[in-house]
């Protein structure tokens, strides 16, 4: 279910849009570097950005260097703790199975994503890893924050890739 547009009377919605806009900027940077444009921001309990990530698979020649994984690794190093129980993760695209598993492993409190991924989404679209009986940690999931912006960004990037072939 898509999240409603923010109103001045809904501070949570304003906060979600604020951080998702930052994730979209990171995604744009990734796209400009030849990566699939996906960005992620991890926000701590005090409302501060702890770590960010953008897709880096091509640049790092690392199949695990998805935006979410990059951000989770950075947050663990910064906090000196891999358990991120009091954190929120904002990401522009619904996480894949690898990233959804890592998010559960990191014990993220809340996952907020923009665009659903009908081909590989492992949170709600194709699989539901967070709610799986095999997942020992439960987290809140909010979907659809700035979904149209994220979808347009991805579609434009893929269209450009097809034109440059």
Active site residues: 68
**Minimal CA–CA distance to 68: which of 56, 82, 81?**
56
Q: Where are the alpha helices (DSSP H) in the chain?
A: 11-32, 57-60, 67-79, 97-105, 147-163
Nearest to 150 by CA among 45, 10, 47, 2: 2
Q: Which two tokens stand for residue 43?
A: 């926000």
In this structure, the chain runs to a length of 165
CB 45 within 8 A of CB 86: yes
How far apart CA 39 and CA 15 sit, in angstroms, is 17
Closest CA to 71 of 58, 89, 87: 89
């Amino acid at each position: 279910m898509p999240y409603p547009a923010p109103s001045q009377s809904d501070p949570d919605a304003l906060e979600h849009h604020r951080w998702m806009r930052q994730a979209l900027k990171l995604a744009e940077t990734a796209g400009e570097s030849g990566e699939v444009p996906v960005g992620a921001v991890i926000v701590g309990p005090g409302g501060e950005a702890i770590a960010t990530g953008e897709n880096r698979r091509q640049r790092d020649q690392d199949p695990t260097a998805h935006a979410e994984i990059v951000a989770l690794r950075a947050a663990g190093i910064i906090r000196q703790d891999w358990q991120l129980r009091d954190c929120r993760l904002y990401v522009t695209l619904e996480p894949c199975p690898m990233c959804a598993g890592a998010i559960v492993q990191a014990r993220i409190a809340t996952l907020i994503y923009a665009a659903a991924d009908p081909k590989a989404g492992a949170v709600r679209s194709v699989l539901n890893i967070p709610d799986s009986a095999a997942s020992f940690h439960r987290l809140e999931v909010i979907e659809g924050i700035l979904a149209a912006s994220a979808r347009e960004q991805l579609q434009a990037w893929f269209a450009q890739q097809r034109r440059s072939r």
